[in-house]
Amino acid sequence: MPLAFSSRSHGTVAFGFFQIEIDMLLLERMFFLADDFCQAVGQLAEGTPATLAGFQIAAERIGSLHGAIAGTDLTGFIGATYQRFPFPPAPEDFKQNPEGRVNRDWILELIGQYGQDLAIPLLEDRQSLDVSIGEYRFSREAFLELLAYVEQGGYPRWRDEIRPGYVEALQAYLMHTART
């Protein structure tokens, strides 16, 4: 479930996983795959700006996360994901699936019906240590909170505490920040 995070550019923003069976993240109206995000963050650790392939969806086409979870509003992009993968009836089954990448082709086909391709620059300002994801700018501390969220599987965490291999790319950035 996406959570509220503080940005320098837009105040409080929503960021996170929105569907436990899919390895996709949202940042407000931008959507991108979690493994691509982690790879891009790994590039930042090497001092290389990265471009993240993503999508932007018009607000009226996103759908209602809370309505989709409740099963009462399955419209828009998010609703379509919950039509395929309904919210689990047992609370203990609400865990992020570490095998969500198996749904990669399906989610990319689906999001193509709702959104526009978007090249999202991922940049670190070496002076201020701020990190930008597209137009959203975060302090280093806030960006590290985003990374911790992804690494732990968001809220509700990874099922059985098993992390997919792609989150290891985040470690390079964490080691980079320890040096600077």
What distance in Å separates the CA atoms of residue 75 and residue 176, rounded to the nearest whole number? Answer: 42
Lowest pLDDT segment from 52-66, 109-123, 148-162, 164-178: 164-178
Over the stretch 96-147, which tens digit does the pLDDT of each residue have?
999 999 999 999 999 999 999 999 999 999 899 999 999 999 999 999 999 9
For 106, the domain range is 3-179
Which 3 state secondary structure label does DSSP give 56? strand
Q: Is residue 2 very low, low, confident or very high in pLDDT (cuts 50, 70, 90)?
A: very high
Over the stretch 11-49, which tens digit does the pLDDT of each residue have?
999 999 999 999 999 999 999 999 999 999 999 888 888
pLDDT for residue 180: 67
Tokens for 149?
């969220």
Structural domain count, the chain: 1
Over the stretch 52-84, which tens digit does the pLDDT of each residue have?
999 999 999 999 999 999 999 999 999 999 999
How crowded is the C-beta side of 84, counted as CA atoms within 13 Å? 13
Cα 46 to its chain centre, rounded Å, is 21
95 φ/ψ sector (left φ>0, alpha ψ -120 to 50, else beta): beta
163 φ/ψ sector (left φ>0, alpha ψ -120 to 50, else beta): beta
